[in-house]
């Protein structure tokens, strides 16, 4: 199972990186991609009127993952660990990471914050 982060979806929909487009298609064909509702909303919020329907249609085929009570508990556990290591992460990024960890999914991202989270063992990144 692979959680695809906003940074990857942006590259995919722009079509600017053929390697990302190819991998997304491969993972879609293998039914490996899951979508946190937060990522869906971040992408839709940034869409142009022209692209909104296409993006929404693409996302409609994916399983949506929602935060659960345990997601919030996990984030609350992580906060003192992050602070203790001098790290500060956004709540949306922590939600996405917690959802991925709860599902034992890999996170595919280009966002450096998640690389720092991986060092703290909050998330496993797709290499």
The tens digit of pLDDT for each residue in 60-105 reads 999 999 999 999 999 999 999 999 999 999 999 999 999 999 999 9
Better-predicted residue by pLDDT, 15 or 121: 121
Structural domains of the chain, with CATH: 2-125 (3.40.50.1010)
Strands 2-4 and 33-36: parallel
**Residue 101: φ, ψ to 5°:** -65, -40
What gap in Å lies between CA 63 and CA 4, rounded to an integer? 12
The pLDDT value recorded for residue 16 is 84
Tokens 């984030």 appear where?
75
The tens digit of pLDDT for each residue in 3-31 reads 999 999 999 999 888 999 999 999 999 99
**Residue 32: φ, ψ to 5°:** -100, -15
The pLDDT value recorded for residue 127 is 87
39: helix, coil or strand?
helix
Start-to-end CA span in the chain (Å): 14
Assess whether pLDDT exceeds 90 at residue 114.
yes
Residue 103, token pair as written in the block: 């599902």
The tens digit of pLDDT for each residue in 48-61 reads 999 999 999 999 99
């Amino acid at each position: 199972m692979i959680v695809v982060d906003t940074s990857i979806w942006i590259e995919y929909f722009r079509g600017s990186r053929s390697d990302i487009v190819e991998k997304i298609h491969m993972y879609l064909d293998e039914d490996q991609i899951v979508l946190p509702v937060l990522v869906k909303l971040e992408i839709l919020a940034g869409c142009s009127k022209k692209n909104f329907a296409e993006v929404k249609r693409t996302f409609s085929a994916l399983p949506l993952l929602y935060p659960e009570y345990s997601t919030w508990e996990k984030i609350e556990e992580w906060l003192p660990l992050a602070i203790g290591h001098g790290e500060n992460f956004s709540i949306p990024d922590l939600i996405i990471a917690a959802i991925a960890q709860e599902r034992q999914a890999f996170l595919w991202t280009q966002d450096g914050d998640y690389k720092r989270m991986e060092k703290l063992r909050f998330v496993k990144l797709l290499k």
